[in-house]
Structures are given as C-alpha cells and as structure tokens.
Structure 1
C-alpha cells in the first residue's frame, strides 16, 4: 500500500516539523507507534493557492487534510458535503477525501467535548464561555448538540458575542445569551463550567483573563483551551479556589485522535500524543 500524506494548510512555513509544530509532532508520534504507513506534513498554502492545493490533494490520492486560519471558511467552497456541526459552525478544519469527494468536519469543539467528558457530562449543565472567536463558536455548538442547558457568551465585541448566542438559539435546542465583558467580569453563580476560549495565556504563564478570581466557586469546573503552557494562570487561580480544572492539552490531543479516525477509521493511542506534547512543552509526566 502506498503512503497516505496529509496536508496541513498553514500560513507559515516550518522547516523542522517536530520542533516547530506540536500537532505535526504528536500525530507523527502516533503514526510511528502504530506502525501506520502514513505521514503528516506541513504545507504553506497561500489564499490564492488554496483551490490548486485541494485539487492536488485529490489528484495525489491523499486521505485528507487539516486546514487552519485563514482557510477554515474559504475551504467550504471546495467541499462536497459538511458534517452536521461543521455546517452549523460555518467553518472546517478537517477534510476527509473518499473516492474523490470531500467532506468537511470541524474537530475544534469535538476535541474539547472529548476532553470535558473526562470530568463531566455536558448534558443539562450551564456553561460560560469567555471569547467569541472560532474556538468559542465550535465549542458552543458541540456543547449545545451534546445537551448543554444554557450557554452564556462573554465577549468585548458585542456583535460577535450576540452572533454566537443567536446561532445556538436558532440552530440547536440549547439556550444561549450574551453578556458584555466588563472589567473584572464576575462569573455568574449558576455556572457549572467556565471555559476560557480566548488566546489570553498563550505562551504567557502569567496572563490572566480579566475576570474576578473570587467568582470562581469551589466545585466549579474551569477549562482553558490554551495548550501552552498547560497550567495557565486561570487554572492555577481556579485550583486555589477548589475548582476542578481542565487544560488545553486534552483538547489538542483529542483533535488529533478524531482527525486520524476520520481519515483512517482507526483509533490511535492518545497517551502517546499527550506524552509527545508534554515533552515539547516541558511538562513533567505523572
């Protein structure tokens, strides 16, 4: 069987994948561990070359590819079908190629949902999401489809926050509302799970979202989508107040597991990928 290659359509070039791109490193580690005849590589695809890149992937018999900003929406014009959540979200980060047909998936929210399942069932829970970007949108949709009762979207840009709330109310059975992100925002008392879906804390262990730390209640679940550093300032503050915490490593690992499953129909060992990320980010293994 010939090797299957996967395209990661990124805006920047990476000369040493394992050192420069954690996603490449963790998926390649899984391929090696399972002795899979596959490779996961980075390709620098500019906006005006997206259509050619996709045609090339089909022509070369690729099993699929991931795509990142700025291609997550532009890629929609080149797909044959969309998975349910991807259609609601309106963005795709994973494409599966079967018999020349392209199906768009979105693994952002699914990866988070799989990680969350390790600490709680979202069904019937009240969530508060900080941020209204692509990650927040995908997570909100997957939580709603999984049976979340209510989602509160908190964002400084009111239009974007209201847009996600309206999407949830219009396209799912969950309830959603928008709250403006004011200085030292106090997390509503009825919230079961708080999620930081912003980039605050990425690469900065001291950066803290502008919330009132004292509104983090004992027993609340506090999750952060930031994978690096895994133990963000928000999670440390939450731990100090007796909250259950969830870091961004699980979300990143699960996205990889889901992507490989979509491409190959095979489950890979998430532990292998998690260890690879821990080594990259300098996290002590348990």
Structure 2
C-alpha cells in the first residue's frame, strides 16, 4: 500500500456580513494567497441576523481563523463581542477587521484609510468640503478619516436623523472638523461648493444596480465623485458622474488599498499593489 501524503490544513480567513454574495473579496484574497505561496483560504459568511453575531464572532475564535473582516451591517454591533479594540475603533465607533493574537480577537478599522488612499490618487483632500450620502459603519469610518486627512467640512446626508447627527458629532469630536447632518428626502441636491461627493450607501451594487437619487444639475464638473460599491467597478452613480466630466474614484480601488493593509496585518507580508490589482480584476471578470 502506498503512503498518501496529505496537504497541510489550510489557514482560514473570513468575512462576516449580510449580504456578501456579490463582494469579490474572497476571490481576490485567494488569488493573492496563491501568488505568495500561502496555503490559506478566504470564506465569506452570510450572517443573516444581528442575533447571530455573538455566535459568529465566537466561531472565529473557536474555529481557529487567522483573521476576519466585518462588513455591513455589523461593523458597530460586533464591537462588544471582541476582546480588544484599537484606538481607531475607539474614535470611530466601528470595526471592519480583526486580528487574532493568542486567541484574543482584536478589532481594527481601516475603511477610511482605504478610501483616503484611493481618493488621494485622484485629488488632494486637505481643505476640501466633503458631502457623504449615508453614514453607516463604513461611512462613519470614512468620515472620520477624511477629517483626519484635512477635509475642511463634512456634510452627512442620511434618512435617519439619529444616525446622521451621531456620526457628525463623532467626526467633530475625533478631529475638530465641523460636520453637519442634512435630511435625505427624495432627490438629493448637492450643496454648492462641494469638492468631494461620496456614496456610502448600498445603492448601485449588483445585482440591483439601483441609481442614487441625485439632482445632477446641482453637481459641479469639478467635484470628485466617489463610490464605495465594489461590484460593479463602475456603478450607475459613477457612470452618471463620468458622463458629466467629473473625476471619479471607484470602490474597487478603495477595496484594494484597505485589503493590502489587512493582508499585511494577517500574514506579515508587505504585498505588491500590482498583485492585488490583478487579483481583483480577475475576481470581477474584467
């Protein structure tokens, strides 16, 4: 009888969220793991209820995952179930990934760092007036990081007053930058003088591809338009912006920037950006 040599157990990483089906993050990470010769794998876990978050987070520890991402709508509610959070999470009030050290789950947030790097490839942030549509777990992190990056003013347009005012207060408390809440009601009229307009909602994601209800007559051609959606790369929101001649920043670029930081935190390997860019393009079938 011949001896069968079994491959080593794969080191698992994951993402907890709902919905997660259209997010290309698993295919991107698996491609990068393979490039660096790592016997690792990435699993997306669709946690359909907030009631299951305590068990899901506990499962990350119990099943020996090497790291985990946390996406909408659980970036805030997951915090009490972690063992430790870093200073960014304390300031922002949301978490988007965790590292595991000696069995302890440590929460971090680099959502905003990813979007700042992506925007700065197109335009400086310092001194700019920013308008953000939506202010959920990712949006609040981005708002704070944009303020830390030197934005002069933030306007948060949301349907829920409690959410918008709380995030505006968080921004000012964390950075000293003035921030205000504006009610989202019907078609959004973008305030005059807006330098950066960002969609931080789910509108435009595959497969629905819903348009963001913006009055494009109120948007200047000099406004840089940003979308956090990762699939498709060019959303209806960005397509309309590009047709107007506005500079655009897509969510895939943001994903690449934050994913590289997460990869390095999990593996200790500083990745080549080109590897991630090729991996995400392949994941999206581009």
2:36 aligns with 34
TM-score w.r.t. structure 1 length? 0.85
What does residue 127 of structure 1 align with? 130
**1:96, 1:149 → 2: CA distance?**
33
**Alignment RMSD, CA only?**
2.6
**Structure 1 residues 134-213: aligned runs within 5 Å:** 134-203=137-206, 207-213=210-216
Contact 1:186 1:211 (8 Å CA) reproduced = yes
The superposition leaves residues 31-73 of structure 1 with CA deviations (integer Å, 9 ceiling, x where unpaired) of 111223433234566335235414315xx4x432223345433
Partner SS, residue 231 of structure 2: coil
Q: 1:158 & 1:71 partners in 2: Cα distance? A: 20
Are 1:9 and 2:16 matched, yes or no?
yes
Q: Please tell me whether residue 55 in structure 1 is matched to residue 71 in structure 2.
A: no
Matched, 1:241 2:244: yes
Please state whether the residue corresponding to 2:260 is helix, strand or coil. helix
Distance 1:208 1:74, change over 3 A: closer
The match for 1:89 is: 92
Cα shift at 1:271: 3.0
Match of 2:27 among 25, 28, 32: 25
Secondary structure at 1:152 match in 2? strand
CA distance in 1, matches of 2:227, 2:17: 23
> What are structure 1's unaligned runs of at least 5 residues?
15-19
Cα distance, 1:212–1:51 mapped onto 2, change above 3 Å: closer
* Partners of 2:54 and 2:81 within 8 A in 1: no
**Using a 3 Å threshold, how does the CA distance of structure 1 residues 213 and 270 change in structure 2: closer, same or farther?**
same
> What is the number of residues matched between the two proteins?
275
Asked whether 1:277 is paired with 2:280, we answer yes
Contact 1:85 1:142 in 2 (8 A): no
Picking from 93, 103, 121, the partner of 2:106 is: 103
Distance 1:257 1:157, change over 3 A: same
The question of whether the paired residues in 1 share the 8 Å contact of 2:72 and 2:137 is answered with: no
Compute the TM-score of the two structures, normalised by the length of structure 2: 0.85
Task: Give, in whole Å, the separation in 2 of the partners of 1:243 and 1:269.
Answer: 29
- Using a 3 Å threshold, how does the CA distance of structure 1 residues 233 and 87 change in structure 2: closer, same or farther? same
CA contact under 8 A between 2:83 and 2:105: conserved in structure 1? yes
- 1:246-267 Cα shifts (integer Å, max 9, x gaps): 1111112222212111112322
Contact 2:23 2:231 in 1 (8 A): no
